[in-house]
Amino acid sequence: MKTKFLFVIALAFGVSAFAQKKEVKAIQKALKGGSYGEAKNLVGAAEALIGSMDDKTKQNFLLAKAQAYLGVDNTDAGDLKVAIESFNELKGTKYNQEAEAGISNVIVAMINSAIGDQNSQNYTTASSKLAEAYNYSKKDTIYLYYAASNSVNGKDYDTAIKYYNELTKLKFSGIESLYYATNATTNIEEKFPSKQDRDVAILTKSHIKPVEKKSESKRGEIAKNIALIYISQGKNEKALEAMAAARAENPDDLLLIRSEANIYLEMGQLDKYKSTMQDVIAKDPNNPELYYNLGVGEDKQGNRDAAIEYYEKAISLNPKYAAAYNNIGALILGGEKAIVDEMNNLGTSNADYKKYDELKEKRQGLYSKAAPYLEKALENRTDSEKGRARSLELSRTLYGIYQQLGDTSKADAMKAKVEALEGGN
């Protein structure tokens, strides 16, 4: 009786092992046929038997399960999480190579899915997937940076702060190598997506003079974003504390100093903004953008002449600084309202008529003075969609000015430009 009992147990074990292998082979067969949905549906039956699987069968099952949930072009975060957990269990086994490749594929799939969400403005979902990608590959801290950025875009500021603070603890800088070479035909330096692409261009001789540069650190931007989030939450003191901590660690970081200045600007502390910007200029005296920003600060305080002086300095350093030309022109035209108001309040006496003529001449003088700056602003606008919209606005303004000045030739030319821009030609 005892022998017969042992035989029955052995027979039952053999049937169980056969069932396990049969279930696993069914998943593998579905995968071979590219039926990933079917393979996923078959996982449950095999998983019910995993507790009694031998190591070889279990490893075959985990690989099949991981592949089923990874699928092809899968964007489902839940599926990808199951896949990577299964691949992780296979690390250190005979399937270690497949596991490492599978984990890389899951991360790529997660990133591609996040990019799709970001492009669809599903920022919260994109942020979650990017954070998951970072958790799968801790060395790729850039994923956490992009997760934080998407949280900001999705107005999930608490999550953004959490990610930014983690990046700060990790001393993340985001500095990367950028690869450039000069086009042999146009003699213009061009950027390449990778070193390999750049090197191929050099080998084919389509480009010359290979150069490697470093991107700017993202620490200043991160510190600024942390502070801006705190400001939006009414936590001004925390904003300044965050910036002070960042500055203490990197006292000579120009981006951080500029970010601190911008924080003062956001908080309306214009005197501190100006003094901090002066510190930046002392370290980078030939940067036109710094003078432009100081011009904006002075403009906000109503210091028209000081603002124009800073804009002029920016132009002296960069003669193509469209925004600086535009702002000077706008400040000059800003004096028109007071003149028009005074003209409208005049009576009908001879003295009033005389005053009206004087004011009209003064107004014409503003137009004449502003026009060259607006012309330069228009001349140096970019061809981007935003630049095109601004070009149309400037063209309309100049058309009106030329009409007021009686310059028919320039008015006709500007009218044609307005019509071309409006027609998208």
The overall average pLDDT reported for the chain is 86
Question: Residue 423: pLDDT above 80?
Answer: no
Dihedral angle over CA of 412, 416, 418, 421, nearest 10: -170
Mean pLDDT of 393-411: 91
User: Are residues 17 and 51 in contact, defined by beta-carbon separation less than 8 angstroms?
Assistant: no
- Measured CA to CA, the distance from residue 68 to residue 27 in angstroms comes to 8
Q: What confidence score (pLDDT) does residue 314 get?
A: 95
pLDDT, tens digit, for every residue of 376-397? Answer: 999 887 655 556 788 889 999 9
More confident residue, 314 or 422: 314
In whole angstroms, give the CA distance from residue 316 to residue 71. 59
Q: Which residues contact 189 (CB under 8 A, 6 or more apart)?
A: 180, 181, 182, 183, 209, 211
pLDDT surpasses 60 at 212: yes
**Residues whose CB falls within 8 Å of the CB of residue 108, separated by 6 or more in sequence, listed in order:** none
196 φ/ψ angles, rounded to the nearest 5 degrees: -60, -45
Q: CB 187: neighbour CB atoms within 10 A?
A: 9
- Segment among 199-208, 257-266, 327-336, 360-369 with least mean pLDDT: 257-266
Using pLDDT thresholds of 50, 70 and 90, give the confidence band for residue 11: very low
Distance CA(80)–CA(105), nearest Å, equals 10
Residue 119 has pLDDT above 90, yes or no: yes
Percent of all residues in the chain with a pLDDT value above 70, rounded to a whole number: 93
Say which residue, 304 or 72, is predicted with more confidence.
304
Looking up tokens 């100093």 gives 257
CATH tag for 19-169 (out of 1.25.40.10, 3.30.70.1230, 3.90.1300.10, 3.30.300.30): 1.25.40.10
Can you tell me whether residue 204 is helix, strand or coil?
coil
Helix (H) or strand (E) holding 191: strand 189-192
Helices (H), 48-95: 55-70, 77-89
Asked if the model's pLDDT at residue 2 lies above 50, the reply is: no
Q: Is the pLDDT of residue 20 over 70?
A: no
* pLDDT score recorded for residue 271: 84
Query: What pLDDT score does 17 carry?
Result: 56
Percent of the chain with pLDDT over 90: 38
Rounded average pLDDT over 139-158: 94
